Protein backbone atom coordinates (compact mmCIF):
# COMPACT_ATOMS: atom_id res chain seq x y z
CA UNK A 1 0.00 0.00 0.00
CA UNK A 2 2.85 2.35 0.83
CA UNK A 3 4.45 1.57 -2.52
CA UNK A 4 1.19 2.38 -4.29
CA UNK A 5 0.84 5.71 -2.41
CA UNK A 6 4.45 6.68 -3.19
CA UNK A 7 3.97 5.78 -6.88
CA UNK A 8 0.76 7.78 -7.06
CA UNK A 9 2.38 10.75 -5.33
CA UNK A 10 5.36 10.64 -7.75
CA UNK A 11 2.97 10.48 -10.72
CA UNK A 12 1.01 13.51 -9.52
CA UNK A 13 4.24 15.43 -8.95
CA UNK A 14 5.47 14.63 -12.45
CA UNK A 15 2.17 15.84 -13.93
CA UNK A 16 2.41 19.12 -12.04
CA UNK A 17 5.99 19.61 -13.23
CA UNK A 18 5.04 18.84 -16.82
CA UNK A 19 2.09 21.23 -16.67
CA UNK A 20 4.35 24.00 -15.35
CA UNK A 21 6.79 23.31 -18.17
CA UNK A 22 3.99 23.56 -20.73
CA UNK A 23 2.81 26.87 -19.27
CA UNK A 24 6.38 28.14 -19.21
CA UNK A 25 6.84 27.14 -22.85
CA UNK A 26 3.60 28.87 -23.85
CA UNK A 27 4.55 32.05 -21.97
CA UNK A 28 7.95 32.16 -23.65
CA UNK A 29 6.38 31.57 -27.07
CA UNK A 30 3.91 34.39 -26.51
CA UNK A 31 6.73 36.73 -25.54
CA UNK A 32 8.69 35.74 -28.65
CA UNK A 33 5.64 36.37 -30.84
CA UNK A 34 4.87 39.76 -29.33
CA UNK A 35 8.39 41.10 -28.97
CA UNK A 36 9.34 41.27 -32.69
CA UNK A 37 6.09 43.07 -33.54
CA UNK A 38 6.65 45.69 -30.87
CA UNK A 39 10.28 46.01 -31.88
CA UNK A 40 9.35 46.55 -35.53
CA UNK A 41 6.85 49.23 -34.50
CA UNK A 42 9.31 51.17 -32.37
CA UNK A 43 11.99 50.90 -35.06
CA UNK A 44 9.69 52.28 -37.75
CA UNK A 45 8.72 55.13 -35.44
CA UNK A 46 12.36 56.00 -34.86
CA UNK A 47 13.01 55.88 -38.61
CA UNK A 48 10.05 58.16 -39.34
CA UNK A 49 11.15 60.74 -36.81
CA UNK A 50 14.80 60.66 -37.77
CA UNK A 51 14.02 60.91 -41.51
CA UNK A 52 12.41 64.34 -41.04
CA UNK A 53 15.06 65.78 -38.72
CA UNK A 54 17.74 66.55 -41.36
CA UNK A 55 15.22 68.29 -43.63
CA UNK A 56 13.81 70.29 -40.73
CA UNK A 57 17.29 71.42 -39.70
CA UNK A 58 18.06 72.63 -43.23
CA UNK A 59 14.73 74.44 -43.53
CA UNK A 60 15.21 76.13 -40.15
CA UNK A 61 18.69 77.23 -41.22
CA UNK A 62 17.26 78.73 -44.41
CA UNK A 63 14.59 80.52 -42.38
CA UNK A 64 17.32 81.99 -40.19
CA UNK A 65 19.21 83.27 -43.25
CA UNK A 66 16.00 84.74 -44.70
CA UNK A 67 15.16 86.55 -41.45
CA UNK A 68 18.64 88.06 -41.32
CA UNK A 69 18.24 89.62 -44.77
CA UNK A 70 17.90 93.38 -44.75
CA UNK A 71 14.95 93.49 -47.12
CA UNK A 72 12.60 90.81 -45.80
CA UNK A 73 10.71 93.22 -43.51
CA UNK A 74 11.59 96.54 -45.12
CA UNK A 75 8.66 98.78 -46.04
CA UNK A 76 9.09 100.87 -49.19
CA UNK A 77 7.46 104.26 -48.97
CA UNK A 78 5.26 105.18 -51.91
CA UNK A 79 6.88 108.15 -53.66
CA UNK A 80 5.02 111.45 -53.70
CA UNK A 81 2.91 111.93 -56.78
CA UNK A 82 2.56 108.18 -57.37
CA UNK A 83 -0.76 108.08 -59.27
CA UNK A 84 -1.71 104.44 -58.70
CA UNK A 85 -3.59 102.58 -56.00
CA UNK A 86 -1.59 99.50 -55.04
CA UNK A 87 -3.01 96.08 -54.16
CA UNK A 88 -0.60 93.48 -52.80
CA UNK A 89 -2.04 90.17 -51.63
CA UNK A 90 0.27 88.08 -49.38
CA UNK A 91 1.22 84.84 -51.08
CA UNK A 92 0.72 86.25 -54.57
CA UNK A 93 3.31 86.61 -57.31
CA UNK A 94 2.10 89.98 -58.56
CA UNK A 95 1.12 93.44 -57.39
CA UNK A 96 -1.76 95.28 -59.08
CA UNK A 97 -1.76 99.03 -59.72
CA UNK A 98 -4.97 100.82 -60.73
CA UNK A 99 -5.96 104.36 -61.60
CA UNK A 100 -8.51 106.32 -63.61
CA UNK A 101 -7.33 108.58 -66.41
CA UNK A 102 -9.74 110.68 -68.50
CA UNK A 103 -12.49 108.07 -68.49
CA UNK A 104 -10.10 105.13 -68.88
CA UNK A 105 -9.23 102.49 -66.32
CA UNK A 106 -5.51 101.78 -66.20
CA UNK A 107 -4.46 98.47 -64.63
CA UNK A 108 -0.81 97.48 -64.29
CA UNK A 109 0.06 93.94 -63.23
CA UNK A 110 3.59 94.03 -61.81
CA UNK A 111 5.47 90.73 -61.74
CA UNK A 112 8.49 89.64 -59.70
CA UNK A 113 11.74 91.35 -60.60
CA UNK A 114 14.03 89.52 -63.02
CA UNK A 115 17.44 89.70 -61.38
CA UNK A 116 20.42 89.53 -63.70
CA UNK A 117 22.33 86.30 -62.99
CA UNK A 118 24.07 85.60 -66.29
CA UNK A 119 22.06 82.44 -66.88
CA UNK A 120 20.48 81.20 -70.11
CA UNK A 121 17.28 83.19 -69.64
CA UNK A 122 19.28 86.41 -69.44
CA UNK A 123 20.99 85.48 -72.70
CA UNK A 124 17.60 84.90 -74.35
CA UNK A 125 16.38 88.31 -73.15
CA UNK A 126 19.51 89.87 -74.57
CA UNK A 127 18.88 88.22 -77.94
CA UNK A 128 15.33 89.58 -77.92
CA UNK A 129 16.62 93.09 -77.22
CA UNK A 130 19.02 92.77 -80.11
CA UNK A 131 16.14 91.87 -82.42
CA UNK A 132 14.23 94.93 -81.25
CA UNK A 133 17.18 97.11 -82.16
CA UNK A 134 16.99 95.62 -85.66
CA UNK A 135 20.60 94.50 -85.51
CA UNK A 136 21.90 98.06 -85.77
CA UNK A 137 25.54 98.64 -84.93
CA UNK A 138 25.23 100.04 -81.43
CA UNK A 139 27.47 99.76 -78.35
CA UNK A 140 26.57 96.66 -76.37
CA UNK A 141 24.54 97.52 -73.27
CA UNK A 142 25.20 95.71 -69.99
CA UNK A 143 22.40 93.43 -68.85
CA UNK A 144 20.03 95.08 -66.41
CA UNK A 145 17.63 93.90 -63.77
CA UNK A 146 14.07 94.48 -64.97
CA UNK A 147 10.43 94.29 -63.93
CA UNK A 148 7.82 92.62 -66.21
CA UNK A 149 4.57 94.56 -66.57
CA UNK A 150 1.18 93.80 -68.10
CA UNK A 151 -0.65 97.06 -68.81
CA UNK A 152 -4.39 97.04 -69.56
CA UNK A 153 -6.23 100.16 -70.76
CA UNK A 154 -10.01 99.90 -70.86
CA UNK A 155 -13.05 102.13 -71.19
CA UNK A 156 -16.58 101.71 -69.88
CA UNK A 157 -17.61 99.77 -72.97
CA UNK A 158 -15.88 98.24 -75.94
CA UNK A 159 -12.49 96.59 -76.37
CA UNK A 160 -9.42 96.96 -74.18
CA UNK A 161 -5.81 97.49 -75.16
CA UNK A 162 -3.09 95.41 -73.49
CA UNK A 163 0.68 95.89 -73.50
CA UNK A 164 3.30 93.42 -72.36
CA UNK A 165 6.24 95.50 -71.20
CA UNK A 166 9.65 95.15 -69.62
CA UNK A 167 10.61 97.99 -67.31
CA UNK A 168 14.30 98.83 -66.93
CA UNK A 169 15.67 101.52 -64.59
CA UNK A 170 16.05 104.00 -67.47
CA UNK A 171 13.36 102.96 -69.95
CA UNK A 172 10.22 100.91 -70.56
CA UNK A 173 10.17 98.56 -73.54
CA UNK A 174 6.89 97.42 -75.10
CA UNK A 175 7.28 93.78 -76.13
CA UNK A 176 3.80 93.11 -77.51
CA UNK A 177 0.38 94.69 -77.72
CA UNK A 178 -3.06 93.36 -78.58
CA UNK A 179 -6.78 94.14 -78.39
CA UNK A 180 -9.11 92.18 -76.09
CA UNK A 181 -12.90 92.13 -75.75
CA UNK A 182 -13.91 91.91 -72.05
CA UNK A 183 -17.62 92.21 -72.89
CA UNK A 184 -17.47 89.34 -75.39
CA UNK A 185 -14.59 86.91 -74.65
CA UNK A 186 -15.56 84.77 -77.65
CA UNK A 187 -14.19 87.51 -79.92
CA UNK A 188 -10.74 87.09 -78.38
CA UNK A 189 -10.43 83.70 -80.04
CA UNK A 190 -11.01 85.19 -83.50
CA UNK A 191 -9.47 88.63 -83.15
CA UNK A 192 -6.46 89.47 -85.27
CA UNK A 193 -3.76 90.50 -82.82
CA UNK A 194 -1.80 92.55 -85.30
CA UNK A 195 1.87 92.33 -86.26
CA UNK A 196 4.71 91.94 -83.81
CA UNK A 197 5.32 95.25 -82.07
CA UNK A 198 8.97 95.40 -83.05
CA UNK A 199 8.17 95.36 -86.77
CA UNK A 200 5.90 98.40 -86.54
CA UNK A 201 7.09 101.69 -87.93
CA UNK A 202 9.45 103.46 -85.55
CA UNK A 203 7.21 106.52 -85.31
CA UNK A 204 4.25 104.32 -84.36
CA UNK A 205 6.29 102.52 -81.71
CA UNK A 206 7.40 105.82 -80.19
CA UNK A 207 3.81 107.10 -80.23
CA UNK A 208 2.62 104.05 -78.27
CA UNK A 209 5.43 104.48 -75.74
CA UNK A 210 4.33 108.08 -75.27
CA UNK A 211 0.70 106.93 -75.04
CA UNK A 212 1.32 104.68 -72.02
CA UNK A 213 3.78 107.14 -70.46
CA UNK A 214 1.08 109.82 -70.28
CA UNK A 215 -1.05 107.30 -68.35
CA UNK A 216 1.66 106.88 -65.71
CA UNK A 217 3.74 104.02 -67.14
CA UNK A 218 7.12 105.73 -67.10
CA UNK A 219 10.67 105.11 -65.87
CA UNK A 220 10.30 107.42 -62.85
CA UNK A 221 8.07 104.80 -61.16
CA UNK A 222 10.33 101.86 -61.92
CA UNK A 223 12.96 102.30 -59.19
CA UNK A 224 10.22 102.18 -56.56
CA UNK A 225 8.58 99.10 -58.14
CA UNK A 226 11.94 97.40 -58.51
CA UNK A 227 12.75 97.75 -54.79
CA UNK A 228 9.20 96.91 -53.76
CA UNK A 229 9.13 93.67 -55.75
CA UNK A 230 12.55 92.59 -54.45
CA UNK A 231 11.24 93.05 -50.89
CA UNK A 232 8.06 91.18 -51.75
CA UNK A 233 10.07 88.30 -53.15
CA UNK A 234 12.01 88.07 -49.87
CA UNK A 235 8.79 88.10 -47.82
CA UNK A 236 7.12 85.45 -49.98
CA UNK A 237 10.24 83.28 -49.83
CA UNK A 238 10.22 83.40 -46.03
CA UNK A 239 6.50 82.60 -45.92
CA UNK A 240 7.09 79.66 -48.26
CA UNK A 241 9.87 78.29 -46.05
CA UNK A 242 7.68 78.51 -42.94
CA UNK A 243 4.86 76.71 -44.76
CA UNK A 244 7.29 73.93 -45.70
CA UNK A 245 8.47 73.65 -42.11
CA UNK A 246 4.92 73.32 -40.78
CA UNK A 247 4.14 70.61 -43.33
CA UNK A 248 7.25 68.55 -42.53
CA UNK A 249 6.66 68.85 -38.76
CA UNK A 250 3.00 67.82 -38.91
What is the tens place of the pLDDT at every residue in 52-61? Answer: 788 889 999 9
Q: What is the pLDDT of residue 8?
A: 47
Specify the pLDDT at position 152. 97
* The pLDDT of residue 91: 87
Predicted model pTM: 0.67
**Beta pairing, strands 160-167 & 85-87:** unpaired
The predicted pLDDT at position 243 comes to 92
Q: Which residues of the chain have pLDDT under 50?
A: 2-8, 11-12, 15-16, 20, 22-23, 25-26, 30-31, 33-34, 37-38, 41, 121-124, 126-127, 130-137
- The DSSP secondary-structure symbol of 109 reads E
| Letter string b/e over residues 232-247, b meaning 16 or more CB atoms within 10 A of that residue's CB | bbbbbebeebeeebee
Q: Which fold has domain 85-229?
A: Mitochondrial Matrix Protein; Chain A (3.10.280)
Parallel/antiparallel/unpaired status of strands 85-87 and 172-180: unpaired
Do residues 217 and 149 touch, judged by C-beta distance below 8 A? yes
Ordered by start, the domain boundaries in the chain are: 1-49, 85-229
pLDDT tens, residue by residue, 164-183: 999 998 899 999 999 888 77
Amino acid sequence: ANLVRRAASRLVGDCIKNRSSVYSFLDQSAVRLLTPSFSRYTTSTRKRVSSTDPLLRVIETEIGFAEQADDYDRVEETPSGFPFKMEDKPGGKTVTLTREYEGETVIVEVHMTNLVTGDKEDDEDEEENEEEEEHEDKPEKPKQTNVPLLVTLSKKTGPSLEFRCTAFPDRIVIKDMWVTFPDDPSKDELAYEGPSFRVLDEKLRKAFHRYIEIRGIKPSMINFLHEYMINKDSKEHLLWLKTLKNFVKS
